[in-house]
Structure 1
Amino acid sequence: MKPPLFLRLCEYIYLHTLISCFHFYFLGLLHLLPNTSMAEYVCLFHKETVIVKSPKKSPVFLRTIVLLFGIVCGIYICTVCLRQINTVSKIKTQNLQLIESPSPDRNILAQLEARIPTLHYPKPQTFSRGECIQNPVRFFAILSMQRSGSGWFETLLNSHINISSNGEIFCAMDRRKNISTIMQTLDRVYKLDWFNSASKNECSAAVGFKWMLNQGLIEYHKEIVEYFNYQGVSVVFLFRRNLLRRKVSLLAHSPDRYAKLLNGTHKSHVHSQEEAAALSSYKPIINSTSLISDLREVEMDAVKALEYFNSTRHMVVYYEDLFTNNTKLDDVQEFLGLPRMELTSRQVKIHKGPLSDFVKNWDDVIKTLNGTQYERFLQADY
């Protein structure tokens, strides 16, 4: 960095003053040398100088004072110049850093990034998006467990005009037999080349599906997390707080696969109170011996999933909160970056009421859970 013009001028004056003082002092010493004329010495040092008559001798003391004065002035000028140069340099450096390298609060940036989903502009191979090609699409995935309300939750999302949630696509073994087939399936979904009744492909603003934890999700979690982060997939965890209710629903659901109580057909979800009453009439027997270990295992599966997918952009939703908190669905829509709408579903809850009405050996369950951390599951939660 070049010093200012004033500082360079100071340096120039100081150097010439110092040279003049040395010259003046040296000439004064020449007068003291015997048998030597000033003109001779002048001619030795300045060959082009005209020889003139020597001036009168000046006292050495006065010349020494002049020399010292010049040196002191020079030191003062240099000190001031250096200080000013350093000050100017610091100011310019600080201004440069302020303009080129701001240091914003990283926590604020992280919070803003977490609130804004990644936008995509997919180009499907199986159809043309037409006039909607300029409309951005958000990617999402619902991670859950069986009998945790994911089917009902997904119908709520699909009632939004801009959401396409494609169901439980990895229930088929051939789509999750290895990580390659999983990636191929994910690409089809997020490129909008997956078709089902929920597809709103052309003008979808959010595209996703639901994925159960036991469908290869935990087994290949490293590769899937990397894919989600690279593609900007937003994750919605859906769990049940009351794991005992989930177990009752799971046990009551399994026999209907074979009994087919509804006119010879098996249904995981129903759309009328009559169908719900028919399915809830079956009362399962809970194995009280393994009950606590079963609940703990499910609890740890959820904890493990949250730990594995912690680096993704995600939110956690509880099934019970969707009943008791009207704003939860608004939070989900905001998380997906979509305009808020009133979401509806035709599905009817099957086991509505106290759990004691749906378990055959309820007394055994009470004895097993009383005094444990799972005792709270015995109480009505909604």
Structure 2
Amino acid sequence: MSKKKPKFCVITTPRSGSTWLATLLDSHPKIKSFEEPFIWRADRPNWTDKQFPTYYDYKTNANKKSIFTAFKYLDILDSYKSDTNFDIIGFKIMYNQIQENPEIMLKLLLDNYRIIHLIRQNYLDVIISRAAKNQHHIAHSNTVQSKTRQVTIDTSYLIKDLDRCTRNNKLFSSLLKIMPLSVLEITYESMQEDYNQVLCSVAEFLEVSSDSITFKSELKRINQGKYSDKIANYDEVLETLSGSSYTKFLKG
């Protein structure tokens, strides 16, 4: 009898490169990485699996809702594998989605999921990416931008936002360390340096061969260049971060 392949879950926070990671994993012929099944809203621009419901759809249409609704949904998600050629099925979930549905962590534990903890170490980049999405209405792009799109950062909340990013990262890093699960921590920054090497390590962690596999994604980084070029109110941001532990992010 062949050994059952593990399930996997990518745990992260928005604007940390999780869609990029999902598309790279999806380029492996034996891996199916669902985008973001626990997205809370009805509209789902990034949901590419139209034939399969999101948790929002499933919960809305469920006759009886309980703590086990998420359990049943994840069982259905995993059953997707039986009708396909995929060896391993996984999905990504955000910190806040786990906080809103804490029973999901119990399901991950009971089903012995492999956890990929994706971290974007420079929290300022997370905030810049979020601002770019909100101000320019571009979440992802398949083309290289002809010019840098500047964003304006609300400095009145900047330190609080960076503190929140720090707390969430520490909280989930600590939680995953004490849970009896296999956890692989990777960073967005290491993917930027050599994503194929990182994805090969992920494939090994998931017990899937990466021989002769070149991981690919059509997604392109939206904003590149110096922070002084990307941030319209750069001097104001610099002044706000001056003297704090977060000034190091401007040196990235």
Interval containing the TM-score (normalised by the shorter chain): 0.7 to 0.9
Q: Larger % of helix: which?
A: 1
Q: Does 2:87 align with 1:205?
A: yes
Alpha-carbon distance in structure 2 between the residues aligned to 1:243 and 1:296: 9
What residue is the counterpart of 1:218 in the other structure? 99
C-alpha distance after superposition, 1:33-92 (max 9, x if no partner): xxxxxxxxxxxxxxxxxxxxxxxxxxxxxxxxxxxxxxxxxxxxxxxxxxxxxxxxxxxx
Alpha-carbon distance in structure 2 between the residues aligned to 1:185 and 1:307: 27
Q: 1:379 to 1:201 in 2, by over 3 A?
A: farther
C-alpha distance after superposition, 1:203-246 (max 9, x if no partner): 2111011111112x02443x323211221211111110111011
281, 287, 292: which is aligned to 2:159? 292
Aligned length: 227
Q: Secondary structure at the match of 2:35?
A: coil
Q: 1:346 to 1:135 in 2, by over 3 A?
A: farther
Displacement of 1:182 in angstroms is 1.9
Displacement of 1:318 in angstroms is 0.6
Q: Secondary structure at the match of 2:76?
A: helix
Displacement of 1:201 in angstroms is 4.7
Q: Secondary structure at the match of 1:327?
A: helix
Alpha-carbon distance in structure 1 between the residues aligned to 2:161 and 2:220: 27
Displacement of 1:255 in angstroms is 2.9
Question: Which residue identity lines up with residue 213 of structure 1 in the other structure?
Answer: Y
Q: Secondary structure at the match of 2:204?
A: helix
- List structure 1 segments (4+ residues) > 6 angstroms apart after TM superposition: none
Compute the TM-score of the two structures, normalised by the length of structure 1.
0.55
Question: Which residue identity lines up with residue 144 of structure 1 in the other structure?
Answer: T
Alpha-carbon distance in structure 2 between the residues aligned to 1:334 and 1:201: 24
Unaligned runs of 5+ in 1: 1-120, 122-133, 194-199, 258-266
C-alpha distance after superposition, 1:313-345 (max 9, x if no partner): 211111011122453222111111110122111
- Tell me which of the two structures has the higher relative contact order, counting C-alpha pairs closer than 8 angstroms and 6 or more residues apart: 2
Is the radius of gyration larger for structure 1 or structure 2? 1
152, 174, 183: which is aligned to 1:314? 183
Q: 1:135 to 1:202 in 2, by over 3 A?
A: farther
197, 204, 209: which is aligned to 1:339? 209
Question: Which residue identity lines up with residue 89 of structure 2 in the other structure?
Answer: V
1:106-121 equivalence runs, <5 A: none
Q: Secondary structure at the match of 2:127?
A: helix
Displacement of 1:277 in angstroms is 3.6
- Kindly indicate whether the alpha-carbon contact (under 8 Å) linking 1:190 and 1:207 is maintained by their aligned counterparts in 2: yes
Q: Secondary structure at the match of 1:235?
A: strand
Query: What is the aligned-residue identity percentage?
Result: 27
Q: Secondary structure at the match of 1:169?
A: coil
